[in-house]
Amino acid sequence: MRMLIENARILTMNENMDEHLTGWIVIEDNLITALGSGAFEKAGQLFDEIVDAGGDLIMPGMVNTHCHMSMTMFRGLGEDVDDRLFRYILPLEREAVTPDVVRIGAQLAALEMMLGGVTTTADMYYFEREVGRVLDGAGMRGVVGQSLANFAAPDHTSFDEGFALVDALRDEFAGHERIIASIAPHAPYSTGPAIMARVAQYVADNPSVKIQMHLAEMKSEMEWCATHHGCRPVELADRAGILQEGAIMAHCLEITPAEIELMAERGITVAHNARSNAKAGRGIAPVEAMRKAGLSVGLATDGPMSGNTLDIFAQMAPASLFAKLLGGSRACLPAQEVVKMATIEAAAVLGMSDMIGSLAEGKRADLIRISLDAPHLLPIYDIYAALVFSAAASDVRDVLVNGVWLVKNRVSLTVEREKVMREAAQCAAAFRSKISQIDGVN
């Protein structure tokens, strides 16, 4: 398979932040093999497909560094209730989450993400094998994390059972080109030091398995940690050995400058859930301080019960606005930095920046095409500002992952839209009637 994309405005997001106002890209099988400026000389060359981008923007696919895809089935529930994690979410999950719910919810999420230009996502949930299979079938890339938790999770009643699920996930996706198995201790308060240490040992024994965890997310977590362990969550996690090189920590809201230094030393990475954190009234993560310390920080949607949308465009403006509010200046977290956090830096968060996140020779062919010919995007004096502050998921026209089109002309090719939406609607209806039986849930 040999493809040429020509007549494109190209954002490479490479180290030099090279842009081509008019450029071309050659793709062979799943790799970008060449790209450049100007008109491509096609004489004597054979292509299976030639795409005239007509001046549209080609850029790396968006990377979502933290998600709970299947929670689309919970989207819009318990919207305005504080402390709903323990009051609503956990009882709902125990009662209602089955492999079918996970599969149907993940399908809807994959559809929404691909239509919005997300080509790679991290995920952590229960029955995570189903999520891996959905992402695989959708043609997307993913880091799929089997959650471990002590609160009677829907798919395990003991940590031994939980670790067995991680084993099964690891085995199912061993050597997979696009799906990477991950182990996801839910949080310090829902696992504890001994289990976090066991996770650290598991990863030492299984170096292909990545760690994902919620860390330093909220006041109740800080209180639990102080009361039960006389320290803060970052210290507790570090003592357990879980802050390993490449471990992905989500949220990191309640952190001190010294903790930021420690996190950077350990080589962990951070998933920044801008909208979800704000929606819970929890505050603004110190993104600029973390990045200044050398931590890779990627944008993330969080699960749709917390953040509602699953597109990264919806995260970009808020991420910048929150940083500007925190720093008290328009100069904080400028648009170009935000686009990095949606692409190359998010890829680094997932340990995949050698493969994806920028457009360069030898990298995987994961890219999106954005129509710039829209009133809300005009004029384009600053392409990064246009992407961050004006563009929307609906501006994404085509999506390519690993050299395969997932979306063309805003139509999903690898997921059956009508079938997935019908199954989701049926599942939501059944779900709703179950929910009404759980005391106190709206």
Nearer to its own copies, 158 or 329 (CB): 329
CA distance 350 to 83: 29
Q: How far is the CB of 236 from its own copies (least distance, A)?
A: 24
What interhelical angle do 159-172 and 128-138 show, nearest 10?
Answer: 20
CB of 28 to its own copies, least distance (A): 32
Write down how long the chain is.
Answer: 442
Q: How far is the CB of 317 from its own copies (least distance, A)?
A: 7
Q: How far is the CB of 308 from its own copies (least distance, A)?
A: 4
Q: Considering only CA atoms, which of 249, 281, 280, 282 is closest in space to residue 263? A: 249
Nearer to its own copies, 180 or 388 (CB): 388
Q: How far is the CB of 413 from its own copies (least distance, A)?
A: 15
CB closer to its own copies out of 196 and 280: 280
Q: How far apart are CA 193 and CA 268, in angstroms?
A: 18
Report in angstroms the alpha-carbon separations of 218 from 2, 233, 248, 249, 270. Answer: 49, 10, 17, 14, 16
Q: Of 4 and 77, which has the nearer Cβ to its own copies? A: 77
Which residues make up the interface to its own copies (CB under 8 A)? 72-73, 75-77, 79-82, 84, 108, 111-112, 115-116, 275, 278-284, 307-311, 314, 317-318, 320-322, 324-325, 327-332, 334-335, 373, 375-376, 378-382, 385-386, 389-390, 392-394, 417, 420-421, 424-425, 428, 431-432
CB 73 to its own copies: min, Å:
7
Of 262 and 421, nearer to its own copies (C-beta) is 421
Rounded to whole angstroms, how far apart are CA atoms 333 and 311? 20
* Residue 168, CA atoms < 13 Å, CB-side half-sphere: 16
Q: How far is the CB of 313 from its own copies (least distance, A)?
A: 9
CA distance 250 to 270: 6
Angle 305-272-279 from CA coordinates, rounded to 5°: 40
Helix (H, G, I), strand (E, B) or coil at 127: coil
C-beta of 131 vs 148, nearer to its own copies: 131
Between 243 and 335, CB nearer to its own copies: 335
Q: How far is the CB of 388 from its own copies (least distance, A)?
A: 8
Cα–Cα distance for residue pair 431/350, rounded to 1 Å: 32
Q: Which residue has the tokens 């954002």?
A: 11
Using CA of residue 412, residue 415, residue 418, residue 424, what is the dihedral sign? negative
5 vs 69, beta carbon nearer its own copies: 69
